[in-house]
Amino acid sequence: MTRLGHLLKQRETGIALALILVVVFTTAKNPAFLFSSDGWRDLLLTPSILMLVAVGQAIVIITRNVDLSVGSVVGLTAYLTGRVFIDLPGVPWPLVFVIGLVAGGLLGLINGALVAFAKVPALVITLGTLYIYRGINVMWTGSDRINSSDMPREFLALGTQSLLGIPYLTIIALVVLVIAGWYLRTQRAGREFYAIGSDPAAAHLYGLKVTQRVLTAFVVCGALAGLAGVLYAARYGTVNSQAGSGWELDAVGAAVIGGVAIFGGSGTVWGAAIGAYLLLTINRALPVIGVQDFWQRAVVGVLILGAIVLDRVLAVRQSRRLTEARDR
Amino acid sequence: MTQATASAPTRVYKDYARPLWRRLLLTREAAIIALLVIVYVVAALSVRNFAAPITITYLLLDVAAILFIALPMTLIIITGEIDLSVASIVGLSSVTLGTLHQAGLPIEAAGTVAILVGIVAGAINGFFITVVGLPSLAVTIGTLALFRGLAVGILGTTAVTDFTEFWTDLAKSKIPGTPVPTVMILFVVLAIVFAVLLHFTPFGRGIYAIGLSSEAARFSGVKVEQTKFILFVLSGAISALAGIYYTLRFGSARGDNATGLELSVIAAVLLGGVSIFGGRGNIAGVIAGVLLIGILGSALRLANVTSDVINIITGALLVASVVSTSVLAWIHRKRIGAGIKKGPPSPAQD
Amino acid sequence: MSDTPEPPAQPTAHAVLELSRIAKAFGAVVALTNGTLRLERGSIHALVGENGAGKSTLVKIIAGLYQRDAGEFLLEGESVDFTSTAQAKEAGIAVIYQEPTLFPDLSVTENIFMGRQPRGALGMIDRRAMKAEALALFERLGVRIDPDRPTLGLSIADQQIIEIAKAISLDAKVLIMDEPTAALSGVEVDRLFAVARGLRDEDRAILFISHRFDEVFALCDTVTVMRDGAYIATSPIGDTTVPQIVRQMVGRDVTTLFPKQEVPIGDVVLEVDGLTQPGVFHDVSFVARAGEIVALAGLVGAGRSEIARAVFGVDPYASGSVKVNGRMLPKHKPATAMAAGIALVPEDRRQQGLVLDSSVSRNATLAIRKQLARFGLITSAAENESARVWASRLEVKTASLDTEVGTLSGGNQQKVVLGKWLATDPKVLFVDEPTRGIDVGTKAEVHRLLSELAGQGLAIVMISSELPEVLGMADRVLVVHEGRITADIPRAEATAESVMFAATHTAGEAA
């Protein structure tokens, strides 16, 4: 198999092509989708926040876990961002990014500690923290709301402006994506995530530092969700207690569409990122091509089901091929 | 080990290694029921109006949908699967009911169609999981979106609100002379059916076997795929039923009805002692789990605690309950003193 | 019966591993009282003993999985105390388990080097160097495996080779192989032995745990026997014989283990005709009569278990037919096969035969749960009653009917499985490796039981890889070779040679 042939067979290439097709088709219907002042920007900008969450989620799923609390983390850190600006006037906005990362990381650490040490399935733990974090968020917010007037202009500008045609937030998200992708592919610890997800028992027997790695995965996932919360505040300016609600399922969906196996061990953050883009772009494209946007969730559902059916078909075929090769 | 001889003294076998009281009382379910009673008593004593009949009525009306859906969810989780799409089926059923009723169909007919829709939805889940062989977590995340999307797509942002008063009143009515809502009769009947199904039928034995070792179950003639398929169809049907109740109770059919309900159901089921790994749990514990969350919520609301705190407490309860199971298992292993990190294979396997 | 025997006196200069008087208990269960072993460099040392002898526990202590309660553990003369498998690995001890544990989604190369991948600039993994190292390892072992392919779908034999490659790349001084040949075909066993000898010549130490004496005598230079958690004896392989070893393992002379009764053979009960599943078995036809014990002999991997599973209905088949008492059975429907009177005691007792976390009672009644129901309802009382009948008939040793079946010994577990199936009142009983992993005493009980059942009119199809068992029990021996039946040998003509010949040659050659 030539390198090009190999590349073309990858899931990531497939959904990237799908994304391009969607954009082309929609733009044909309405050129403003792409070729307007906001069109290009929104195309790149809107999904980049979800992309961060999807990348973090992918890392956790690769270790054969899941983090359902990311939506609540995004909401909490988005509100935290606003509050920091209000309560600490004059705070330099880069520091707020750090605060968001650290806050998200801590929330992720709680998840990770419970999963790694108490050995309870991540599904259950993060279901619980989904409730807890959202409850804290609502309690803290009260009937309040963060408005754009509460945040400094340079910060908000970051949320809407571009550098050389690419929105700042997208650049941030892309940088994170590249680092994550690089780490998972080229670093020993990154490869261990895959090993742990592929066969946790073997990983223990091998002597891998499973607890440490799982903890790290959750911390990173939380930190990225925290960063996404900061970006959310910058992008939208208004934050209420429901920010980020439902994002956990979108993130899992994006990862699954992107080729990350739900039981871990395979898939890439690149796929999850493209999956996030595909998901949100389709949602935005629907009204343009005349489908009421009420059908968005249905489309997401079909995509997810399609992705996992495809995975299964390919896996069966591959397993058959490998076994036959062995028996020859 | 003696060699086989012609006849050996016949053994006498005890039915149980531990006495009845230990088997009944030293279980998670007993703990939850005890907690339920304690919380109820404390709430009745300390929160004003909690012990009032009307509180009980609203409590039961509020948790009725969760109670219904928790029944098939228990069986599904015991087999080691999960159904995240239940709330979306509630929404789909609600929308079906509303749309058909608005088009002129009487509630009875519209309700029947809604339940059929639930059955089809459950069958779709069942098909992907048992025929195609996909993991239920992934499939029901997909159908959660798909069914909800269909529900929202059909009705858009509108809501259907003109339901016959007879039915909406019935949904909220009480059994005469008691604070218990009428819908509880239906629930009790269903609960008995499910409890008998799970604990006293061959089908139920098969469910536990599948949850503990689906391979061994298959080798013993248990129809694994068929069983799971039936459970998902049941889940769809009951969710649709809950959707009818939900719609009539609030008098409004909306596409986004009951969004997020699946989490409450799963949280209650797990709290009630059902293991997420499969193979363990019973209906009594689950009912206690739902009521516990309901009572806590109700009492706290009456004490003017906001709903977010209630959510925090629900989440904390869930986390505490599964962590405690883990901790107990860890203590048990330490007592055996294997001196190893991860679960040992049984030493008798040497 | 001597007290605690001393190992033969030897200079300590060459011993790489020395354990003496190791003791280990799990709560009330005592696994080891005197674990003693002396492993030298450049040696392939066999460790034999019945199930329950303590071999497995001793190995797990060496591997760092368990920690000993008492005794000395010296690695190259220095006392060691491993608290994790990683430590043992670092110290140069590698274990090749029966079921290799690899990462299926990752490539062969990554499996070998996980956590230790060669690195280049910025700490980035150097994939090219890693692949080259993997190829070099395989060259040294004299095997050919594609380093880039995922380990998913590799044969057990190949997976074991990868485990060995892992061990060598860690420069292991001690390699422990735990029943490595259980799932290997003849060719693969030869390859494994060649690799083992190569490792021995590199001055490494190999501990070979097996109950297959022919292999022990073919490969090993020393043998240590354990019994009931204690060391019994060590001798160079040239100084001992199989009967001597068996006597040391069992503690007494073992006479006839297979009480074969003469039983009148009745009509044909099971008729299998032209059963075919591409890649697994081909054109399999045989009959089984009431009162007959038909053995399915052959090498591991020949396809015998697959044939049994297909007849029973757990696995599908592409063409052919199965008839019980003249009635055709639909394929791939175990419940229907059960109703027609077929029972299967499967090969993997723990994963397929039993629900380990469930009680004796539930396990014993799982197959007849529908029959036990009255008006569709089943009660624990009814289950306990049925379980009690069978447990006492088979003399199962258990604290109570409620005990988790996973805590029972191998022999008693097998009795529960048998009881489960006998409760279905079968006409045809398939037993797959009926005495694997069972102590000698219970083995004889199982054989006696099978003979009795044949006497009562059951048709028994027995799959066994133990030639003495096959020759001792069977009325007829069907030999399977690579998915085809190569011989149908009546008892009178069945010998070790005729069976082994048919097991290793195709039908044309075996005629």
Q: CATH code at B197?
A: 1.10.3470
DSSP assignments along A83-131, one per residue: HHHHHSTT--HHHHHHHHHHHHHHHHHHHHHHHHHH---HHHHHHHHHH
Task: Please check whether residue B3 lies inside any domain of the structure.
Answer: no
Task: Please check whether residue B321 lies inside any domain of the structure.
Answer: yes
User: Under an 8 A CB cutoff, do A128 and B316 touch?
Assistant: yes
**From C102, C122, C279, residue closest to A202, measured CB to CB:** C102
Dihedral class, residue B213 (left if φ above 0, else alpha if ψ from -120 to 50, else beta): beta
SS3 C33: strand
- Judge whether A87 is closer than 8 Å to chain C, CB to CB: no
Chain B: residue whose CA lies nearest to C408: B348
User: Under an 8 A CB cutoff, do A206 and C110 touch?
Assistant: no
Exposure string over A239-265, b if 16+ CB within 10 A, otherwise e: bbbebbbebbbbbbbbbbbbbbbbebb
User: What's the ipTM?
Assistant: 0.86
Task: Please check whether residue B144 lies inside any domain of the structure.
Answer: yes
Chain B: residue whose CA lies nearest to A305: B142
Using DSSP, how many helices (H) and how many strands (E) does chain B show? 14, 0
pLDDT value of residue C207: 95
Phi/psi at C274 (5° precision): 60, 30
Q: How confident is the model at residue C441 (pLDDT cuts 50, 70, 90)?
A: confident
The chains found to touch A (3+ Cβ pairs under 8 angstroms) are B, C
CA distance C352 to C312: 13
**From C102, C125, C150, residue closest to A191, measured CB to CB:** C125
Quote the longest CA-to-CA distance of chain A. 72
Does the structure show a pLDDT above 80 at C131? yes
Q: How far is B330 from chain A (nearest CA, A)?
A: 9
CA distances to B16, C376, C411, C426 from C388, rounded to whole Å, are: 12, 22, 17, 19
Exposure string over C74-98, b if 16+ CB within 10 A, otherwise e: bbeeeebebebbbebbebbbbbbbe
**From A120, A129, A252, residue closest to B141, measured CB to CB:** A252
pLDDT value of residue C120: 86
CA C90 to chain centre: 29
Contact B282, B29 (CB under 8 A): yes
Contact C292, C271 (CB under 8 A): no
**Token pair in block for residue C478:** 């069907």
Which of A135-144, A213-222, C5-14, C444-453 is least confident? C5-14
Phi/psi at C258 (5° precision): -120, 90
User: Under an 8 A CB cutoff, do B277 and A121 touch?
Assistant: yes
Q: How confident is the model at residue B350 (pLDDT cuts 50, 70, 90)?
A: very low
Q: How far is B61 from chain C (nearest CA, A)?
A: 32
Overall domain count for chain B: 1
pLDDT value of residue B7: 45
- Judge whether A42 is closer than 8 Å to chain C, CB to CB: no
Which of B22-31, B189-198, C393-402, C442-451 is least confident? B22-31
User: Under an 8 A CB cutoff, do B3 and C444 touch?
Assistant: yes
Does the structure show a pLDDT above 70 at C448? yes
User: Under an 8 A CB cutoff, do C354 and B216 touch?
Assistant: yes
In which element (H, E) is residue A296 found?
Answer: helix A296-327
User: Under an 8 A CB cutoff, do B149 and A138 touch?
Assistant: no
Q: Which residues in A lie closer than 8 A to residue C152 (C-beta atoms)? A: 318-319, 322
Instruction: Sheet with C342-345: list strands edge to edge.
Output: C342-345, C428-432, C459-463, C293-298, C476-481, C484-490
Q: What angle do CA C34, C40, C43 make, to 5 degrees?
A: 115
Q: Beta strand pairing status for A166-167 and A162-163?
A: antiparallel
In which element (H, E) is residue A190 found?
Answer: helix A188-198
A272-276, B252-256, C480-484, C489-493: which is most confident: A272-276
Does the structure show a pLDDT above 90 at C54? no
**From A132, A295, A305, residue closest to B139, measured CB to CB:** A305
The residue among C26, C356, C368, C372 with the most chain B CBs within 10 A of its CB, best to mutate, is: C26
In which element (H, E) is residue C481 found?
Answer: strand C476-481
Q: Beta strand pairing status for C459-463 and C293-298?
A: parallel
* Mean pLDDT calculated for residue range C185-212: 88
The residue among C59, C93, C114, C160 with the most chain A CBs within 10 A of its CB, best to mutate, is: C114
The residue among A3, A61, A186 with the most chain C CBs within 10 A of its CB, best to mutate, is: A186
CA distance C451 to C434: 13
The residue among A68, A131, A132, A205 with the most chain B CBs within 10 A of its CB, best to mutate, is: A131
CA distance B137 to B144: 10
The chains found to touch B (3+ Cβ pairs under 8 angstroms) are A, C
CA distance B341 to A15: 42
pLDDT in tens, B114-146: 999 999 999 999 999 999 999 998 899 899 999
Task: Please check whether residue B15 lies inside any domain of the structure.
Answer: no
Contact A62, A194 (CB under 8 A): yes
Looking at the domain A13-327, which fold is it? ABC transporter involved in vitamin B12 uptake, BtuC (1.10.3470)
CA distance B65 to B240: 10
**Token pair in block for residue A153:** 């202009």
**From B200, B217, B347, residue closest to C355, measured CB to CB:** B217
Q: How far is A202 from chain C (nearest CA, A)?
A: 5
Does the structure show a pLDDT above 80 at B4? no
SS3 C280: coil
Does the structure show a pLDDT above 70 at C321? yes
Over chain B, what is the mean pLDDT?
86
User: Under an 8 A CB cutoff, do A262 and B312 touch?
Assistant: no
- Judge whether A322 is closer than 8 Å to chain C, CB to CB: yes
Range of the domain at B78: 20-342
Q: Which of A76, A143, A147, A146 is CA-nearest to residue B307?
A: A143
Which of A55-64, B146-155, C114-123, C216-225 is least confident? C114-123
